Every structure is written in structure tokens, then in C-alpha cells.
């Protein structure tokens, strides 16, 4: 009887000790993170994120600039051309030439070149006048179309920078293993891989909108060049009619 009582007492003490040990272990368990914020993503991407950010700002500025500049009223304003025709019909060639300087545009540049020739050549040669206007028109058309090319340059450069970040990140990840396999830490590997993935994604995020914007403004520029050609043809017809 006494031995049985002692046995039950030892079992009870063991259970009590285990319960106290479990109760004393009150270390809080850290909640799992849901993800990184933008600042952490930027830092994890490393130095390639700085030129990519600069390219994104430049691309956005170009898009806003082209929205303001690549418009019909900025390239070949129809009302402005009608005003020039009215002044020419009234014999105010000097005032029409001054209007080109007051309101500059690609059409104004073509008009100014034509009026300068008509003023200096007595009488003006129709073929030479046409060649002069075509030459200036082509120069203005090239300028309109070339400035849109900057968006394509950004669309090409951004993925290259992202690819460079990918290569650098993978080198960091492999070096963490190659230098000391025993001390290779998962954090070092994760840091290199995150640099590789983040810069690749960031480069594409910058490049894809730039390429879409380039396609849009390229078509828009082509339409404006066609409008400039039609306005220049009307101007040539008007000047030849006055000269005859």
C-alpha cells in the first residue's frame, strides 16, 4: 500500500513539473510577414533601381510633353494658315512673315521659308519654290518623328539595366555558396536572388509602358506629318496662284 502511494505521488509530481514547464514557456511566436513594402522592394533591388527610377521619370515627362506638343494646333494650325492667306490676299506679306515668328510651329517654319524665297526671288520660280518647301517640310517632319524615338530608347535601355541587375544578383547568390559552403546562409542567397528578380521586373515595368506610348505617339506623329503635308500643299497652291 505504501509503495503504491509513493508511485502515484511520483507520477503526479512528473505531470505537475511538465505542466509548469509548458506554462513557463511563454515566448511569443512572431507573426509571419505578408510582404515587403515599396521602400523595402527598392532597397532589395540594389543600385539598378536608381537608373530605372530615373528612366521612369524621364519617360513620364516625355509622355506628358508629347501630349501637349503633338497636337494638330501645335503642328499645322488650320486657323493660323487661314489668317496667313487672308494677309497675303490683302497684300500684307510682311505681316504674314511676322506672324510666322510670333506663333512658331512646323507649319510656320515652312511658311516662313516659302515667304522668304518669294520676297527675294523676283519672279519666283515655281519648281524652286516647291523644292524649298519640300526640303523644309521634310526637315520638320523628321524632327517631329525623331523626338518620339526617345521613348523607344527608354524601352530598350530599361530591360538591359534590369538584366544587368539580374546577372549581378545571381553572382552574389553563387558567391555566397562558393566562398564558404559551410557558412552559406539562406539570407545571403535570398538577397542575391531578390536582387535578380526585382531588377528584372522593374526593368519590364519601365519598358512596357514606354513601348506602348511610343507606338501611340509614332502613329500620332505620322498623322500630324500628313496634316503638315496637306497644309504645305495648300500654301504652295496659294503662293503659285498669287505669282501667276
pLDDT at 19: 46
Q: Where are the alpha helices (DSSP H) in 121-185?
A: 126-179
Cα–Cα distance for residue pair 58/143, rounded to 1 Å: 19
CA distance 97 to 115: 7
Going from N- to C-terminal start, the domains of the chain cover 42-243
Return the C-alpha cell found at 244: 501667276
What pLDDT sits at residue 126? 87
Mean pLDDT by 10 residues, the chain (244 residues): 43 44 44 62 81 96 96 92 92 90 93 91 86 94 94 96 86 69 58 74 95 97 95 91 70
Grid cell in block for residue 83: 489668317
pLDDT at 8: 41
Amino acid at each position: 500500500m505504501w509503495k503504491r502511494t509513493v508511485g502515484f505521488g511520483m507520477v503526479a509530481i512528473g505531470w505537475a513539473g511538465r505542466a509548469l514547464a509548458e506554462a513557463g514557456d511563454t515566448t511569443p511566436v512572431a507573426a509571419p510577414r505578408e510582404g515587403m513594402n515599396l521602400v523595402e522592394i527598392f532597397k532589395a533591388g540594389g543600385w539598378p533601381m536608381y537608373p530605372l527610377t530615373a528612366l521612369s521619370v524621364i519617360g513620364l515627362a516625355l509622355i506628358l510633353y508629347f501630349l501637349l506638343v503633338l497636337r494638330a494646333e501645335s503642328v499645322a494650325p488650320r486657323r493660323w494658315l487661314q489668317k496667313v492667306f487672308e494677309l497675303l490676299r490683302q497684300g500684307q506679306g510682311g505681316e504674314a512673315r511676322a506672324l510666322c515668328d510670333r506663333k512658331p510651329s512646323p507649319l510656320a517654319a515652312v511658311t516662313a521659308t516659302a515667304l522668304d524665297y518669294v520676297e527675294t526671288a523676283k519672279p519666283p520660280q515655281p519648281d524652286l519654290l516647291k523644292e524649298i518647301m519640300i526640303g523644309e517640310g521634310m526637315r520638320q517632319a523628321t524632327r517631329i518623328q525623331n523626338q518620339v524615338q526617345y521613348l523607344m530608347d527608354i524601352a530598350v535601355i530599361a530591360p538591359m539595366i534590369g538584366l544587368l541587375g539580374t546577372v549581378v544578383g545571381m553572382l552574389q547568390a553563387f558567391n555566397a555558396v562558393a566562398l564558404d559552403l559551410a557558412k552559406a546562409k539562406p539570407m545571403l542567397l535570398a538577397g542575391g536572388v531578390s536582387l535578380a528578380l526585382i531588377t528584372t521586373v522593374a526593368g519590364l515595368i519601365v519598358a512596357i509602358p514606354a513601348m506602348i506610348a511610343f507606338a501611340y505617339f509614332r502613329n500620332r506623329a505620322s498623322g500630324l506629318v500628313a496634316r503638315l503635308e496637306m497644309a504645305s500643299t495648300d500654301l504652295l497652291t496659294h503662293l503659285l496662284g498669287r505669282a501667276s
